[in-house]
Amino acid sequence: MVRPGRIVYHAAMEPQATKLICPVVCESLDGVRAELAAAARAGADLAEWRLDFLHDRPSADALRAVLGDAALGVIATCRPSRQGGRWAGSEAERLGLLADAGRWAAVPFVDVEDDVPQADWPVEPARVILSHHDFDRCPAELDAIFDRLDSSPAAVNKVAFACTNPADALRCCDLLARTSKPTIALAMGQAGAISRVAARAWGGFGTFALARPGASSAPGQPTLAELQETYRWADQHAGMDLFGVIGCPVGHSMSPAIHNAAFAATGLDALYVPLHIEPGREEFERFMQAATDRSGLRLRGLSVTIPHKEHALEWVGPDAVDDLARSIGAINTIVLTGEKPGGLNTDYAAAIDALCEAMGIGRDGLAGRSAAVLGAGGAARAIVAALADAGAGVTVYNRTASRAEALADEFGADAAGLDELAWLDAEIVINCTPVGMAPHVDASPLTPIPPSVKVVFDTIYNPLETKLLAEAARRGCVTVGGLAMFVNQAVAQFEAWTDRLAPRAIMQQVTVERLGRRA
Ligand code: NAP
């Protein structure tokens, strides 16, 4: 055992790859020991022990029990209540506790808030992480705050601030690009996720990640497994191309897993991140401006989902998209690899191609066939536009009849209410409602399936086989599930961004595997 007072510099102090730092926030010492062991097992490089979470001020024996044989290096932190922490005791006692913890060899760093005078720092500057937190906003004076940290004698700078748009999180990238020493720069909240998951590509000293979901010390922390499995942690380095998905919400999007797996499988130097952008055109445009202003970010393409598909089309401009995307009024893909931004609606092509492939026909083979589309939302809109464009005769059935009428009017289709489903007389049925989606797997939007129906396409992909599809299969119909559409749109995005053939089988495998985890 290494005795207090003898500083042994931990490997974690060497200037090397970005550290995975696991926060340990427990009220009991047993909990701390268990969490440290879990952090080490999960692959953390360092743990941050939040001493302020303990029920009682730890004695010398308690520190020995935790730090005497810690499984990994520990950053000692004791956040006072004035800085959003739980420490309610005196400042002298707090700094004394940090000094005691800092005597252990297992503690390479001690976190010291930037409002603590240097004369009171509990350990020598070479082991201080000088931190500034703002839990309310991205401070207007961020640059000045950072300059103060950076000019101090502390070994490591740390800034963490709340953010509501990923535009603010990009400020972390700016700070990391100009820092003179190891720096942790993180934006908190869902909108700040990019600063956490891309920390290695951006050259941060560390990022905080959890050994298991929950148990976080700040909003928006990913798990260690997510960083390693979904965000190419081992492959991340400076100069990677950046892609992402814009939406609200995007927290449960499978797109990062699918596209990062595709980049890895094709050996592309690219990273795909979630970009949570609140509803509203201004929010969307604020991010796009901030991202495209920074050439060093290497943003090359974006997936766009609800509620920003219309904003995306407005942003790229009507001339940047094809006729059908223009008439749909929405795109789900932005391409930033050319001289000018491009836009695509891979949703409609993905749906129509999945349908035609199952039917063994080309798009022109849809001409003159009759199709019933259930639903009049975003997915239905793209599919009705594409079916009408291919010359199919379409009837839109919707719960809210007026929405069915409005959609049908736009694309020369017929409209009906759900009460008219009993008289449905079409060859093809496409479900574009969430009826039958997990967890309501016993529901079906159309039962029984009328005799005219030969092909049933359910856009739902969770479950892979809905009740509607199971019934259709029993009746001998050709069936198409939402998985094919989902994978098709991702494949088309990948190919538009990279000009390469997408690894479809891997993308499908990752999608199925992720869906299995949700079940
Ligand atoms: P949306 O814009 O919210 O539209 C939902 C549509 O479903 C509306 O027409 C709505 O009718 C109708 N609806 C909702 N709940 C209903 C219920 N209980 N009974 C009957 N009708 C109901 O959603 P969206 O973006 O179009 O997505 C719709 C579905 O498409 C999703 O649930 C998803 O399963 C599927 N989808 C699949 C993919 C894929 O890649 N496979 C992609 C996108 C969407 P009202 O107008 O009356 O509200």
pLDDT computed for residue 16 by the predictor = 62
Indicate the helix (H) or strand (E) that contains 100. Answer: helix 91-102
Residue 289 structure tokens: 């401006």
How far is Cα 376 from Cα 400, in angstroms, rounded to an integer?
Answer: 8
Contact between 454 and 428 under an 8 Å Cβ cutoff? The reply is yes
State the closest ligand 1 atom to the C-alpha of 376, by its place in the atom list counted from 1. Answer: 9
Q: How far is the CA of 215 from the centre of ligand 1 (A)?
A: 35
Q: What residue's CA is closest to ligand 1, atom 31?
A: 434
Backbone angles phi, psi at 413, to 5 degrees: -105, 175
Contact between 7 and 34 under an 8 Å Cβ cutoff? The reply is no
pLDDT computed for residue 219 by the predictor = 72
pLDDT computed for residue 433 by the predictor = 97
Cis peptide before 448 (omega within 30 of 0): yes
Mutate to test the pocket of ligand 1, among 399, 435, 461 (most ligand atoms within 8 A of CB): 399
Q: Tell me the CA distances in angstroms from 15 to 11, 18, 203, one per residue in order.
A: 9, 9, 11
How far is Cα 507 from Cα 344, in angstroms, rounded to an integer?
Answer: 20
How far is Cα 469 from Cα 467, in angstroms, rounded to an integer?
Answer: 5
Q: How far is the CA of 516 from the centre of ligand 1 (A)?
A: 22
Strand partners, 301: 243, 335
User: What stretches in the chain show pLDDT beneath 50?
Assistant: 1-15
Say which DSSP state 419 is in: G
pLDDT computed for residue 342 by the predictor = 97
Query: What is the DSSP secondary-structure string of 24-61?
Result: E--SSHHHHHHHHHHHHHTT-SEEEEEGGGSSS---HH
How far is Cα 436 from Cα 217, in angstroms, rounded to an integer?
Answer: 38
Q: How far is the CA of 308 from the centre of ligand 1 (A)?
A: 16
Q: How many CA atoms lie within 13 A of 235 on its CB side?
A: 18
- Please work out whether the CB of residue 380 comes within 6 Å of at least one atom of ligand 1: yes
Q: Tell me the CA distances in angstroms from 82 to 89, 97, 133, 354, 493, one per residue in order.
A: 11, 17, 11, 57, 47
347, burial (CB in 10 Å: exposed 0-12, middle 13-18, buried 19+): buried
Rg (CA), the chain: 27
- Please work out whether the CB of residue 307 comes within 6 Å of at least one atom of ligand 1: no
pLDDT computed for residue 252 by the predictor = 87
How far is Cα 249 from Cα 308, in angstroms, rounded to an integer?
Answer: 11
How far is Cα 423 from Cα 294, in angstroms, rounded to an integer?
Answer: 57
Quote the Cα angle for 409-492-490, to 5°: 95
Q: Give yes or no: 309 in active site.
A: yes
Count of C-beta atoms within a 10 Å radius of residue 203: 19
How far is Cα 311 from Cα 283, in angstroms, rounded to an integer?
Answer: 10
Q: What residue's CA is closest to ligand 1, atom 13?
A: 433
Mutate to test the pocket of ligand 1, among 245, 400, 432, 486 (most ligand atoms within 8 A of CB): 432
pLDDT computed for residue 256 by the predictor = 97
Give the amino acid at 36: L
> Is 356 in a helix, a strand, or coil?
helix
pLDDT computed for residue 1 by the predictor = 34
The residue annotated as part of the active site, out of 158, 309, 454, 467, is 309
